[in-house]
Amino acid sequence: MDPLLSGGDSVCAIYIAHSDNNIKFKERLPQVYGVTLEDIKCEGCLSDNLFKYCQVCPIRSCTQKKGIEGCHQCNGFPCQFIDNFPIPVGKKVISRALPAWRELGTERWMEEEEKRYHCPHCGYKLFRGAKRCRNCQQPVDVD
């Protein structure tokens, strides 16, 4: 299973907004993702109540069909699914993270990702694409 899709839950803005039911945070997301407020819901990558993009994600079904854990194990990367990925911040994450994952191997790569998604100022957990820390309000830049 691809951590970008599964273990990625904990850094996914949609998932965080839904599980915290943080209305103010939720209201900022539709413009980022190009969806309506009602679409901002997800119970996690492995649940049946997925964010609407993830329900039809061709990458998710492609890895399942190929029987691989994720794009880092695929010789075809980057393919048209990556090129056509509908969410700009997601595409940026994939293009950055996948080559590093291949190079470092899963264990070291996960450590690096874990570090990346914490605020350099206060250590608070950040989500992908965050522009500002939700805890200390300092500007941050993670993708």
Which is nearer to Zn ion, 56 or 136 (by Cβ)? 136
Whether residue 84 contacts residue 62, with contact meaning beta carbons closer than 8 Å, is answered with no
Rounded to a whole number of angstroms, the minimum distance from the CB of residue 29 to Zn ion is 19
Q: Which is nearer to Zn ion, 61 or 135 (CB)?
A: 135
Q: First-to-last CA distance in the chain? A: 21
Instruction: State the nearest-atom distance from the C-beta of 132 to Zn ion, in Å.
Output: 9
Report in angstroms how near the CB of residue 114 gets to Zn ion at its nearest: 16
According to DSSP H, which parts of the chain are helical? 13-20, 23-33, 52-55, 58-66, 80-83, 88-104, 106-116
Footprint on this chain of Zn ion (rule: CB under 5 A): 119, 121-122, 124, 133, 135-136
Residue 7 CB, shortest distance to Zn ion, in Å, is: 22
Question: Is 100 or 136 the residue whose CB approaches Zn ion more closely?
Answer: 136
In whole angstroms, what is the distance from residue 20 CA to residue 23 CA? 9
Residue number, 4 or 133, with CB nearest to Zn ion: 133
